[in-house]
Amino acid sequence: MKALYYIIGVVLLSSTVSCNKYVDIENPKDQLVSSSVFVSDATATAAMVGVYSDMNAYNYQFANVLTTFMGAMSADEFAYAATFASFDEFKNNAISPDNTYVGILWSQPYDFIYRSNAIIKGVTASTTLSAATKNQLLGEAHFVRAFCHFYLTNMFGDVPLILTADVPSNSNLKRTPKADVYAAVIADLVEAKKLLINAYPGNQERTRPNKTAATLLLARAYLYTGNNGQAETEATEVINNADYSLLKNPDQTNAASMSKAFLKNSSEAVWQLQVVNTLGGRNTWEGNLMVPASTPYYRLTTGPNGLANAFEAGDRRYANWVGSYTNTATPPVTYYYPFKYKVRVGASGAAATEYSMVLRFAEAYLIRGEARIQQSKLSDGKDDLNVIRDRAGLTALSTPASIAVGMTMVEQERRVELFAEWGHRWFDLKRWKSVTGAGDKSRADDVLPLIKTNWKSTAALFPIPTEAMRTNPNMVQNPGYN
């Protein structure tokens, strides 16, 4: 793993994108020795915002396209229409450890973890930073470390838990049990909440994590680990924050229309990644790839169990967030694609109007609704789901008769609300227990065989990449990939 876990005794700053898109400071040098980075508020801040810049600088990276796209294809949301072996492996749930993209999904989060660890070390040791800057940067670094460990453990299961920037001691670490990784994620987010404030730092755009971002991710982590009471508490804190609201106007020309949820700094945005590479009029990488110029390459699954047919009649999410393209064949064929982002290519030289959405306010209602239903607070849980349904223009649900019935409602609302966002559907299917099979089966074992003929339970985890296996003698491969 030495080739994948790296930090070079300095805080690595991006030389390819401008950090001053996040904060108004001079662009940093390529590398600043650690003793210099943490002397001034400006250079220390540049170290942190350089992480966000690198998260979104290039195409098909962990933090913009890959987690969303590979999660969607691994689940039942959409697939790539052309033949491409590396993508087909995700669509067919038959991933090779040599797959380029599984390697990126492993290596890049660890890069950001190492850089966060270096920032935590440097900021903690500094005697010259202002108290406010120290708290903000420590909070952000703990948040990013938690965020990356969260996604690693959900994609790969047990993973090395990296809490220092000491490469020699980390390079041969064994895989840490998933429960311990989650404990560290939760501890980091609790610490981030203490350190961060509600206001967004820097230029006040919603592109650097604040207290609410840490709270929402903490609510999700509690939900995923079965601590439903705490998940409800944290989600309620997010919901009660007046800085956020659901865009619900059905008129797509209205500024409060749900069609505008993915605009930069929208009222639904809890954390976004700012555009840092706008060549050719691009806004987000997601929109640039999912919004087609003609025939779409990324097409929603169809058929009785496909996402294109999962929406109820009159659901505004379908009207606003699903695009269609009908070709000129005889007879014509209509293809459906994710259309949450509206901009494929904007006007040349125009400012970006959309940012990549990472955490969105609507998830707080879905977390609280599920957590309440799991605690047998069936009426309260139903009410949270109905907030989401009301925005979608749908009739209210009645109180479910049981937890099982309530969870069917939760699954439906999460599927059609969070599709094509950060692998939510993929993670949901894996974390929920099967309703039809043995106790060791997941909901993925119920659902995915309906559209995937070769589904196997072991495909719920991605393989450990070949490079990690080669360079770390203590690394053990996931079942099904030996």
Report the relative pairing of strands 78-80 and 298-300 from DSSP bridges: antiparallel
- pLDDT score of 22 more than 50: no
Categorize the per-residue pLDDT at 93 as very low, low, confident or very high, splitting at 50, 70 and 90: very high
- pLDDT score of 161 more than 50: yes
d(CA 299, CA 307): 10
Residue-level pLDDT at 482: 83
Strand partners, 12: 31
Distances (CA, A) of 380 to 112, 217, 418: 38, 22, 21
Residue-level pLDDT at 436: 87
Residue-level pLDDT at 35: 61
Residue-level pLDDT at 29: 34
Mean pLDDT for the stretch of residues 443-471: 96
Nearest in space to 110 (alpha carbons), one of 177, 153, 162, 178: 162
> Residue 434: CB partners within 8 Å, gap ≥ 6?
441, 442, 443, 445, 446
Which CATH fold topology does 10-263+357-471 show? 1.25.40
- pLDDT score of 9 more than 60: no
Nearest in space to 245 (alpha carbons), one of 141, 130, 390: 390
d(CA 117, CA 251): 46
Which tens digit of pLDDT belongs to each residue from 24-53? Answer: 333 333 333 466 899 999 999 999 999 999
Write down the pTM of the prediction. Answer: 0.93
- 3-class state of residue 300 by DSSP: strand
Which tens digit of pLDDT belongs to each residue from 229-276? Answer: 999 999 999 999 999 999 999 888 888 899 999 999 999 999 999 988
- 3-class state of residue 209 by DSSP: coil
Which tens digit of pLDDT belongs to each residue from 305-327? Answer: 999 999 999 999 999 999 999 99
Residue-level pLDDT at 282: 87
Distances (CA, A) of 95 to 92, 232, 344, 477: 8, 36, 29, 13
Dihedral-angle region of residue 425 (phi above 0 means left; psi in -120 to 50 means alpha; beta otherwise): alpha
Mean pLDDT for the stretch of residues 374-379: 98
Residue-level pLDDT at 62: 96
Categorize the per-residue pLDDT at 438 as very low, low, confident or very high, splitting at 50, 70 and 90: confident
Which tens digit of pLDDT belongs to each residue from 338-360? Answer: 999 999 998 877 889 999 999 99
Residue-level pLDDT at 2: 38
Q: List the domain boundaries for the chain.
A: 10-263+357-471
Which tens digit of pLDDT belongs to each residue from 113-122? Answer: 999 999 999 9
